Amino acid sequence: MARGRLRADLRKAVAPTETWKLEDFEVGDITRTMMRTVTETDLVSFVALSGFYEELWINTRKAKADTLERSRLVPGYLTLIIAEGLYILTGRMHNAMALLSIDEIHWPAPVTCGDGIYCLIEIEQARRSNTRKDRGIVQTLHRVLNHDDVEVLRYRSARMIRARSLG
């Protein structure tokens, strides 16, 4: 019985690419993402891919000796990349055409391997483009919090988003 209901609900569901267009973003709306654990594999993969071969990230003994943290620290940019990925998973960015800016980046607290993080994303501005009426600009404030609800990252972004109509 429950499976039948679930299948019916899934048939009614609308794909995110069909919904979140410029007109759907309202100033003041806040989206909460799911929480995700930052793992040692995330750290090692990020360092290898990005070339962040700072001894703090690649030498466990030095990291433990030089920091007060209980676990391995994670590069701030890895936290930012994971936060962006969590926002994409909400479906709100499926009609994004471009990431225009990331500004005012602050890391007020560290993230370590084993921490869970989630995001609160607030719409600060949503406006139609002055030159192309089929799109607009959405500006957001991103707050990234850990599993203890401590803010570990804050930044603003601006994205170009497809519009539903020529408005």
Output the six-digit token pair for 91.
């479906």
Whole-number mean pLDDT of the chain? 87
Q: Binning pLDDT at 50, 70 and 90, where does residue 99 land?
A: very high
- Is residue 34 in some structural domain? yes
How many whole angstroms separate alpha carbon 153 and alpha carbon 106? 6
pLDDT digits (tens, 9 = 90+) for 16-32: 445 789 999 999 999 99
In-domain check, residue 2: no
Query: Does residue 65 form part of some domain?
Result: yes
pLDDT at 2: 55
Q: Is residue 8 part of a domain?
A: no
Residue 4 lies inside a defined structural domain of this protein: no
Is residue 95 assigned to a domain? yes
**CA separation for the pair 94, 14 (Å, rounded):** 13
Q: What is the pTM of this model?
A: 0.83
Assigned domain for 60 exists: yes
Contact 119, 32 (CB under 8 A): yes
**2-11, 88-97, 119-128, 145-154: which range is least confident on average?**
2-11
Question: Domain with 114 in it: what CATH number?
Answer: 3.10.129.10
Q: How many independent structural domains does the chain possess? A: 1
Domain extent at residue 69? 16-162
